[in-house]
Amino acid sequence: MSSLADRLRGVLGPAKAGHYNSGSVRLQADENAGGVRLQPDVADAAEILGGEWRESRGRKFLVVERKYSPGYRHGRVSIADCLPPWPRLDLLASGGSERTRPTQGQGRPGPFGPQGRPGPFGPGKLLFLDLETTGLAGGAGTYAFLVGCGWFDGGTFRLRQFFLSDFAAERALLESVAAVADDADCVVTYNGKTFDLPLIETRFALQRMEPPFADVAHVDMLHPARRMWREDDVDCRLTYLEQALCGHEREGDVPGFEIPSRYFHYVRSGDARPLAAVLEHNRLDIVSLAMLTARASQLLDEGPSAATTEREAFGMGRLYERAGLLEEALACFQRAAKADLKVGLYADALRAAAILLRRLRRYDEAASTWRELLATRSCPAGYAREAMEALAVHHEHRARDLEAARRFALQSLRLQATAARQDAIKYRLARLDRKLGSQTLPCLPLA
């Protein structure tokens, strides 16, 4: 009886020499499993993708390296324009979850200070990470077949990509990724809090390896980018920000949904040519991420006057506010509120400014801002109710104008609110009526 290998050769035919097309597959005996498995013949992948093979534990994976000089331009922005250190990078990490705030004294030292906030970073301290995966579902069945890492090295930007040519080489690949991440103080991603870091940590865990990012500060640029640059009618995609902020428009870029199918085609056929565009897509994402991070950090360092749009100023204000820099946040909100904006953003800026003024105990300025918000055309009902309640409190307890306080309380009662809020307003009105009644009683002469 013929062996399985003989029968498969009869079906597939002899392997062809030379360059690989979609049908070229070679058979290799799997000594560990005692059987035969299909494996792409990847001898030409290094030439096609511009990398070199690395071998560890008897398994090979591909490493592709690129180096961008200070004069390299990505649209209208050069590498020289983006060089760290960035003193205000800590503001991009503030307000995150606990995974962005490693505990001091555990694991290797991170960049966070005593208050849990990262400090200034020097060259070579930041690692920009982006993955290309076999799917978006996550979990144990999703592989990171391409791990892209970028970092500043003096005046240049270095980029190293680890390509998983064979699933059996995953452990060897992850060991090399861990070596690159070993001296990083902070990892920067785009949507990495939700996707990239959990997925790469899952791959490390399945290989029974310690994740290299567990004790490293993490900046997920998706959230600051949404605050500063998101438009109502446009998704905050990295390619959109790349074009809007850097002036770089990609040509022939591979769509994200197509990337897994290109990798599976390579696994089946050994043809690496469709993957060249995938690796270029990954490189562009990492370079854009570095420039986006530099842009946000530099804006926050220069202050409110550096904002080029009202949306940018408002987003900077939110970042300052989350970091506890209230005066800088107030300046940003006030700048955003002065411009001729869409009603929604204008009202948001006024409300944020009024709340900050109240926190800063500048009560008269806060009351003036609440009145300005009420005068806004098509002011949202929720904001109007909040403004009326704030003005009622201000006039009752600070300005001591009970009639004005009662007037604002009555106006807020007419707006829709929860039952608990309505009861609170009625309680305030009853208290104001008692105070006003006591003021009208005549003073009785003492006996």
Summarize the confidence of residues 55-79 as an average pLDDT: 95
Summarize the confidence of residues 115-130 as an average pLDDT: 62
Summarize the confidence of residues 233-253 as an average pLDDT: 90
- C-alpha 178/C-alpha 144 separation (Å) is 14
- C-alpha 269/C-alpha 21 separation (Å) is 7
Helix (H, G, I), strand (E, B) or coil at 409: helix
For tokens 């498969």, the residue is 8
pLDDT band at 340 (very low <50, low <70, confident <90, very high): low
Summarize the confidence of residues 22-41 as an average pLDDT: 43
- pLDDT greater than 50 at residue 38: no
For tokens 């900077």, the residue is 316
- pLDDT greater than 90 at residue 125: no
Lowest mean pLDDT among 33-37, 180-184, 328-332: 33-37
pTM over 0.85: no
Lowest mean pLDDT among 42-46, 247-251, 359-363: 42-46
Please state the φ and ψ torsions of residue 82, each to the nearest 5 degrees. -115, 5
Summarize the confidence of residues 84-97 as an average pLDDT: 78
Name the nearest CA neighbour of 81 among 304, 311, 315, 293.
293
The dihedral sign for the CA sequence 408, 414, 417, 419: positive
Summarize the confidence of residues 274-281 as an average pLDDT: 97
Q: pLDDT (tens digit, 9 = 90+) per residue, 144-158?
A: 999 999 999 999 999
- C-alpha 173/C-alpha 63 separation (Å) is 9
pLDDT band at 234 (very low <50, low <70, confident <90, very high): confident
Please list the alpha-helical segments (H only) found in 78-218: 89-93, 170-181, 197-206
- pLDDT greater than 80 at residue 11: no
Classify residue 372 as exposed, middle or buried by CB count within 10 Å of its CB (0-12, 13-18, 19+).
middle
For tokens 């085609």, the residue is 265
pLDDT band at 93 (very low <50, low <70, confident <90, very high): confident
In this structure, the number of other CB atoms found within 10 A of the CB of residue 169 comes to 21
Which tokens go with 404?
Answer: 């004005």
Element of type H or E holding 73: strand 73-74
- pLDDT greater than 60 at residue 22: no
Q: What is the DSSP string of 232-253?
A: TTB---HHHHIIIII----SSP
- β partners of residue 106: none
Summarize the confidence of residues 425-446 as an average pLDDT: 76
Q: pLDDT (tens digit, 9 = 90+) per residue, 428-438?
A: 999 999 998 87
Name the nearest CA neighbour of 26 among 52, 13, 49, 45.
13
Classify residue 188 as exposed, middle or buried by CB count within 10 Å of its CB (0-12, 13-18, 19+).
buried
Lowest mean pLDDT among 97-101, 336-340, 422-426, 431-435: 97-101
In this structure, the number of other CB atoms found within 10 A of the CB of residue 422 comes to 14
Rg (CA), the chain: 30
- C-alpha 332/C-alpha 338 separation (Å) is 10
- C-alpha 145/C-alpha 198 separation (Å) is 15
- pLDDT greater than 70 at residue 109: no
For tokens 């994976």, the residue is 61
Give the pLDDT confidence score for residue 97 in this predicted structure.
40
Classify residue 28 as exposed, middle or buried by CB count within 10 Å of its CB (0-12, 13-18, 19+).
exposed
Summarize the confidence of residues 366-393 as an average pLDDT: 94
pLDDT band at 442 (very low <50, low <70, confident <90, very high): low
- Higher pLDDT: 1 or 177? It is 177
- C-alpha 285/C-alpha 189 separation (Å) is 10
- C-alpha 107/C-alpha 373 separation (Å) is 49
Q: What is the DSSP string of 247-316?
A: ----SSPPPGGGHHHHHHHHHHH---TTHHHHHHHHHHHHHHHHHHHHHHHHHHHH-GGG-SSHHHHHHH
Summarize the confidence of residues 302-331 as an average pLDDT: 95
Give the pLDDT confidence score for residue 233 in this predicted structure.
63
Which amino acid would we find at residue 396? E
- β partners of residue 65: 160
Which tokens go with 218?
Answer: 């993490």
CATH annotation of 53-301? 3.30.420.10
Give the pLDDT confidence score for residue 96 in this predicted structure.
41
Mean confidence (pLDDT) of the chain: 84
Give the pLDDT confidence score for residue 231 in this predicted structure.
80
Domain with CATH 3.30.420.10 in the chain: 53-301
Q: pLDDT (tens digit, 9 = 90+) per residue, 382-394?
A: 999 999 999 999 9
